[in-house]
Amino acid sequence: MTMSDWLSQPENYVFLVIALPMVFGAWRVVTTRNVVHAALYLVLALGGSAALFLLLGAEFVAWTVVLVYIGAVVVLFLFGVMITRAPLGRQDDLSHAANVRIPAAAISFALFIIMGGSMLSYFGGEEFTADVGITRTADIGFVIFDRFVIPFEVVSMVLLAALIGGIVLARKDPEPKEVESVDAALAAPEGGDA
């Protein structure tokens, strides 16, 4: 399919409208000098992905992304930012110096080229089948509890473990000890703590 053919489909315009801000947002996540801004740019990227899911007809996934990713994960991030007393506002030293950035940029660019190139050579301009229907949530529910019940259970275990782990990790020590140095504190096993 040529570019003009592609552009003649109206959904592709929608796609572009969603995708370009996403890319911009992602780019800003990794380059901004403001921590809070980074989190917010991530919201942009994630929101864009939700919209794309809607475009693809995966409604349940889209709304899950909004609820969980944007609603919980990003909020968590903001909490983390606050608790670690990251200096709010502009910060010049959020990224490494150029001696790290340039090789990293090279690597990521190479990665992009490789991935893109290989996929392009395989798929070329294949089109979606004409009918891109909307996936019913009930169907997804059926599938999860029929074919994917075990992964589902495992994931629930993982969540449980994360829950417990998070609580254990983050709670305060029962008997706070005087620490002379960071290394000594790290070396000595903390009483009762995991």
Partner 1 sequence: MNSLLAHAAPLLLAAEDGGEHAETVLADGGVLASAAWLIPVVPMVMAFLIVFFGKRSPLKGWGMAVGAMGFVALYGTVLFGQALFGDSAVVYQGAVEIGDIGTTTADGHASLLHLEWGWLVDGLSSMMYFVVGVVGLFVFIYAKSYMKGDIRYTWFFASFTLFAGGMLVLVSAPNLIQLIVGWELVGVASYLLIGHYWEDQENSSAAIKAFLVNKVADVGLFIGAIMIGLSVGSFRFSDIMEVVAGGGGTTLATVAFWAGVALFIGAMGKSAQFPLHVWLPDAMAGPTPVSALMHAATMVTAGVFLIGRMFPFYNSPEYAEEMRWIIVIIGSLTLFLPGLIALVQDDIKKVLAYSTVSQLGYMMVAMGAGAYTAGLFHLFTHAFFKALLFLGAGSVIHAVHSNNMSDMGGLRKYMPWTFWTFLIGSASLAGIFPLAGFWSKDEILASLQYAGENYPVEAGGAALANVALVVAIVGAFVTAFYMTRAVSLTFFGSYKGHGEPLESPKMMTVPLVALAVGAVTAGWLNIPGVTSYFTDAVGKVLVPAGDHHAEAINFAIALSASLVGLLAIGLGYLLWYPDKETQQERDTFRIPVLYPLLVNKYYIDDFYMDVIVRPIRGPIARATDWFNGHVIDAVVNGVGFGTKALAKPIYAFDQRGLDGAINASAAGTAGTGTFLRMFQTGKVQQYAVMIFAGTVLLVAGLIIFGT
Partner 2 sequence: MIIMQFLILGAALFSLGVYGVLTRRNAVLVLLSVELMLAAVNINFVAFDRFLGDELAGGQVFALFIIAIAAAEVGIGLAIILLIYRNRHDANVDDLDLMKL
CB 127 within 8 A of CB 1: yes
Place of tokens 């994917």: 148
Query: Which of positions 117-136 make contact with partner 1 (CB under 8 A)?
Result: 117-118
> Rounded to whole angstroms, how far apart are CA atoms 6 and 135?
24
Q: Which two tokens stand for residue 116?
A: 């893109």
CB 47 within 8 A of CB 17: no
Map 61-86 to HEC letters.
Answer: HHHHHHHHHHHHHHHHHHHHHHHCCC
Can residue 19 be called a binding residue for partner 2 (CB under 8 A)? yes
**Which is closer to partner 2, CB of 89 or CB of 119?**
119
> Rounded to whole angstroms, how far apart are CA atoms 23 and 48?
9
Which range binds partner 1 by CB under 8 A, 13-21, 56-64, 103-111, 158-166?
A: 103-111
Fill in the per-residue mask, 124 to 153: x = in contact with partner 2 (CB under 8 A), - = not in contact. xxxxxx--x--x---xx--xx--xx--xx-
Which one of residues 107, 132, 144, 160 is an interface residue with partner 1 (CB under 8 A)?
107
**Which is closer to partner 2, CB of 68 or CB of 90?**
68
- 34: three-class secondary structure by DSSP: strand
**Which is closer to partner 1, CB of 114 or CB of 188?**
114
CA distances from 176 to 167, 180, 191, 193 (A): 17, 13, 9, 11
- 169: three-class secondary structure by DSSP: helix
Query: Which of positions 153-172 make contact with partner 2 (CB under 8 A)?
Result: 155, 158-159, 161-163, 165-166, 169-170
Can residue 2 be called a binding residue for partner 2 (CB under 8 A)? no
- Please count the other Cβ atoms lying within 10 Å of the Cβ belonging to residue 58: 18
Work out how close the CB of 35 gets to partner 2 at its nearest, in angstroms, rounded to a whole number. 7
Query: Which of positions 70-89 make contact with partner 2 (CB under 8 A)?
Result: 72-73, 76-77, 79-81, 83-86
From partner 1, partner 2, none, interface partner of 134 (C-beta below 5 to 8 A by class): none
From partner 2, partner 1, none, interface partner of 145 (C-beta below 5 to 8 A by class): none
Instruction: Tell me which residues touch partner 1 (CB under 8 A).
Output: 96, 100, 103-104, 107-108, 110-111, 114, 117-118
